[in-house]
Structure 1
């Protein structure tokens, strides 16, 4: 049986982190699954790659020998994927844009118009991705570029440009005790039930629970895969969700009231792409997305 590139990615993550816990978090998989994959790799290669005990993880001589070769194989595979993607994209003249929440903000019409001038004959496809994938389809290769809420996984695989900042608001069911307030202090949400993103969303889940600023974590009563699911839960009275001010406008519903939250830093919307993807057509789309979003009221152009 041949070794899979995925197994080498897992090995490199553990080798760089020297921690199965940190590596699992970086890879968005459960630690037991990661340990199992590493054991299978060791069995396949008939070597021990890591010395493990309860306090530390260290590379063996065999692991140290494999590490630079594994990195090279991964880099070559990514280069091959990028080249194939370039050929396919050029052939089909299509760029796929991923998103978690409705984009709105005039993006679709604006970018389509710019592409008609700069890339005649090309078209955009928009694809909604579940909150369970914090890379918005970029890691899997399902999309070419994403319109995403930060934070993104900080693993040096992605680049982004912040194109807008929007205050964080809270969505409440009509009739909720806080619905009559013009602004809701963060302290007032301390004991409220919240609908969370899936655990695999990582830091994004924490951000949209407000846990980055709360003195104690939010009380989670349910999880939702999409913005639509989370707002259905709010409308039914199950719990509350945080959302951006722009999405409060986009997702208006008769059974929900949205209010600004005092005490939270703003959210950031970004155009995100794979760092090694240098296709000229993709760069045109990135620049067009950034320009269209930065032209919207309340948006900002990042320094540099």
Structure 2
């Protein structure tokens, strides 16, 4: 046995046991199946034992897995309770908002006004694209701004706005001077992609077709930096093209692509006042 294990790995182990398969557990956790398998194998390596037998009849716990399971459940539950106790310890309830880039579009201002009006506090967490739930899956955020399609799971979402998509190109790219581009114009271009763990969201921002992937980026800022360096091109929302504007990148409309949708999301069944108030403040009147 070598090194301390991570709470995330224990949570993943419990999720696999409860779901009965890596596929179902990966969907519930908003991670890719290969990433989930890798983390469980890492847990087994740290403990120096095999926890699960992967046979033709499905997954079964080994004796070591049976011994670990109740402790893992308790640790995961205790941490969730500790996190909630810490949040409640403040003088006012805190709404933790997840986002993967600066949202703008007057949405954050409206959310701040609504939380202040009710005596709540607002905390913003920037989260990488590797977690397409923007912190909702592991409970580190209460509501989140997310781009659809939403990864399957126990989340609710409401669309806030729809925007055309553009393609971000280096300023000296041969296509940068064109007023618009068609999807076919991008067929041979290397792309900057979201991480594979982003699942369907990655495919949406690749235009829904097979691409030559030049590099992966965990953040919108990282994607734009990769474009500016000449590594590849990237699809981007029209509003984000304005928010992330820089002189060495040009964003050209691609009108034949379906628009993108920005939504507010929260965990299904979370009917706390601060969550309901946040969603109500953001939805179009």
TM range (shorter): 0.7 to 0.9
Residues 87, 93 of structure 2: 8 Å contact kept: no
> How far does residue 33 in structure 1 lie from its aligned partner after superposition?
3.2
Over 3 Å counting, the alpha-carbon distance change for 1:114 and 1:58 in structure 2 is closer
Distance 1:203 1:180 in 2: 31
Q: Secondary structure at the match of 1:184?
A: coil
> How far does residue 26 in structure 1 lie from its aligned partner after superposition?
5.2
RMSD, aligned α-carbons: 3.7
The residue aligned with 2:140 is: 142
2:19 to 12, 16, 20: 16
Distance 1:234 1:10 in 2: 38
1:118-197 equivalent positions in 2, closer than 5 A: 119-120=118-119, 122-156=120-154, 158-197=155-194
1:104 aligned onto 2:104? yes
- Name structure 1 gaps, 5 residues minimum: 296-304
1:249 aligned onto 2:255? no
User: Residues 205-226 of structure 1, C-alpha deviation per residue, up to 9 Å, x if partnerless?
Assistant: 222122x2x2xx1111112221
Q: TM-score, normalised by structure 2?
A: 0.78
1:49-88 equivalent positions in 2, closer than 5 A: 52-53=55-56, 57=58, 80=81, 84=85, 87-88=88-89
User: Residues 112-133 of structure 1, C-alpha deviation per residue, up to 9 Å, x if partnerless?
Assistant: 233343x03x232222111122
Distance 2:270 2:133 in 1: 15
User: Residues 126-147 of structure 1, C-alpha deviation per residue, up to 9 Å, x if partnerless?
Assistant: 2211112212122233322111
Distance 1:232 1:6 in 2: 32
- Name structure 2 gaps, 5 residues minimum: none
- How many residue pairs get matched? 275
1:230 to 220, 223, 236: 223
Over 3 Å counting, the alpha-carbon distance change for 1:81 and 1:51 in structure 2 is same
Q: Secondary structure at the match of 2:254?
A: strand
